[in-house]
Amino acid sequence: MNVESVYPKVREIIADVLVIDEDEVSLNSRLIADLGAESIDFLDLVFQLEKEFAIKIPRGQLEKNARGDLAEDQFEKGGVLTVDGMKALKNYLSEIPADQFKANMKVNEIPMLFTVETFCKLIVAAVSEKNARDTVV
Amino acid sequence: MRFLLVDRILELSPLQLVRGIKHITRDDHYLCNDEQGTLCFIPSFIGEAIGQLAAWNVMLCNDFRLRPVAGVVSSACLHRPAYIGDTLLIEAVIDDVDDVAVRYHGVASVGDEVVFSIESALGPLLPMTEFIAIDEVRRQFSEINRPGAWPPVASAGELLQNGNEPLPYLLVFDRIIASDPGVSLCAEKRINRAASYFPDHFPHKPVLPMTVLLECKLNLAREFLARAQFSQHYQVSELRKIKMNEFIYPGDLVVTTVQVKRHDADELILSFRSEVEGKRVCVLDVVMTAKGN
């Protein structure tokens, strides 16, 4: 499973959740800025993705994935990303053009960056983690 | 008139299950006519009662710090109306909850017969004090939390008819602003602060209950059918993919567009989109099945 293989289904679900035509959704569409997603849409989207791919996506998982090995206070201070935090975020969201990471970005602004590809990557990671767990069990 | 629709909580397992009842009597304010003209409880408000019951469970378990609000409902099925003399046995099952949202499903029955069911409802949790004082909501809970057994399936005896039936409460759009019969319909509703549900929904922040908008849309679906003059007769069976994006406030002007999403001899699906100042606030599909199927 990879981004290309999950993309058609993710695209279909995003279009359905946002009540837009699939034609309007591309891999690099930003959910908030380009597709008009709001907070309730993210809740809905995560639930639909969990159902479709039989996975669990804990709340804030994308931010946790971005943080990687950094402790919380290494990642952000007072709600603003640290230099190391920004580096980790850029590294994790490698699909996002560099000019979209603004200086002194706040943690609650991170979702502004999310694209369709971000969610495809999240699905691929969650499915592979689940498969790994199932294999161990 | 109160917009607290659960009369009594009979059983509550924290973050798992809650059961309660609502008697439908002539004391009810929120009655309408069914297709035969018989008074019944406003169908969307059966769904509201299920949602309120689920909310009591969640609010109790977070010590009334957070309250669920309407968000997304995958499917709500209207099996039959509930009439004066019926007692709704309501059950809500909490499927998942955290500090951000609750997911639940539920059902309302009269005796052994399911009259309304909700699949997969998702409600964001917001700070209680934005909506109502914590002491006030605690008091409301303690008033109705009286554990006990389910009531008997049906009361014996004939329902008294005194000739003075309550008046139906109309939940409708104010005017049609565009109509292409059988294709689309556009209607508007001005949200009036004087509406009877606002004092309870909510004291600190009056917002339009989603179920009020849903009932208006069901009535708009009937208006659409009346204008379409299809050869087949349809009846509402399900509300699907309901999503409330934004609160609607008194003073707002809600513009709703209805379009045919699918139409064949067995089924008609109407797609609804409501906007305030051009911004999407609520969408849903109304599924209608051909009568006799």
Residues B51 and B104 in one domain: yes
Residues forming a β-bridge with B243: B72, B283
Segments making up each domain of chain A, as ranges: 3-132
Residues B6-16 have a mean pLDDT of 97
**Residue B293 confidence (pLDDT):** 58
Nearest to B71 among A19, A43, A59 (CB): A43
**3-class state of residue A48 by DSSP:** helix
Q: Which residue type is seen at B84? A: I
Residues B79 and B184 in one domain: no
The residue written with tokens 């009346």 in the block is B226
A43 touches B at CB < 8 Å: yes
Residues B113 and B202 in one domain: no
**Residue A66 confidence (pLDDT):** 87
Q: Give yes or no for residue B154 having a pLDDT over 70.
A: no
Q: Which residues of B touch A46 (CB under 8 A)?
A: none
Q: Which residue type is seen at B228? A: A
Closest alpha carbon within chain A to B273: A19
Residues B138 and B195 in one domain: no
Q: Which residues of A touch B245 (CB under 8 A)?
A: 38, 40-41
Residues B112-132 have a mean pLDDT of 96
**Residue B260 confidence (pLDDT):** 97
CA distance B70 to chain A (A): 10
Closest alpha carbon within chain B to A19: B283
Domain boundary among B128, B144, B160: B144
Please give the Cα distance from B42 to B110 (Å, whole number). 15
Q: Is the peptide bond before B202 cis (omega within 30 degrees of 0)?
A: yes
Residue A52 has a CB neighbour count (10 Å cut-off) of 14
Residues B114 and B213 in one domain: no
**Residue B165 confidence (pLDDT):** 80
B273 touches A at CB < 8 Å: yes
Q: Give yes or no for residue B198 having a pLDDT over 80.
A: yes
Query: For chain B, how many residues are written?
Result: 293
**3-class state of residue A98 by DSSP:** helix
Q: Give yes or no for residue B167 having a pLDDT over 70.
A: yes
Residues B23 and B135 in one domain: yes
B166: tokens are 């309550």
Q: Where are the beta strands (DSSP E) in chain A?
A: 76-77, 80-81
Q: Give yes or no for residue B111 having a pLDDT over 70.
A: yes
Residues B131 and B181 in one domain: no
What does pLDDT average to over chain B? 94
**Residue A61 confidence (pLDDT):** 84
**3-class state of residue B145 by DSSP:** strand
Residues B132-138 have a mean pLDDT of 98
Structural domain of B22: 8-144
Whether CATH 1.10.1200.10 fits A3-132: yes
Q: Which residue type is seen at B93? A: V
ipTM above 0.90, yes or no: no
Residues B191 and B108 in one domain: no
**Residue A9 confidence (pLDDT):** 96
HSE-CB for A111 with a 13 A CA cutoff: 15
Q: Give yes or no for residue B156 having a pLDDT over 90.
A: no
* Residue A28 near residue A121 (C-beta atoms within 8 A): no
Domain count, chain B: 2
Residue B228 lies in a domain: yes
Residues B47 and B106 in one domain: yes
Reduced 3-state DSSP string for B227-252:
HHCCCCCEEEEEEEEEEECCCCCCCC
Please give the Cα distance from B106 to B73 (Å, whole number). 11
Question: For the domain that residue B19 is a member of, what is the CATH number?
Answer: 3.10.129.10
Q: Write out residues in chain A with pLDDT < 70, as ranges.
A: 137
Residues B137 and B214 in one domain: no
A72 touches B at CB < 8 Å: no
Residues B191 and B265 in one domain: yes
Please give the Cα distance from B132 to A75 (Å, whole number). 36
Q: Do A40 and B103 touch (CB under 8 A)?
A: no
Band of the pLDDT at B20, cuts 50, 70, 90?
Answer: very high
**Residue B52 confidence (pLDDT):** 98
Please give the Cα distance from B89 to B111 (Å, whole number). 7
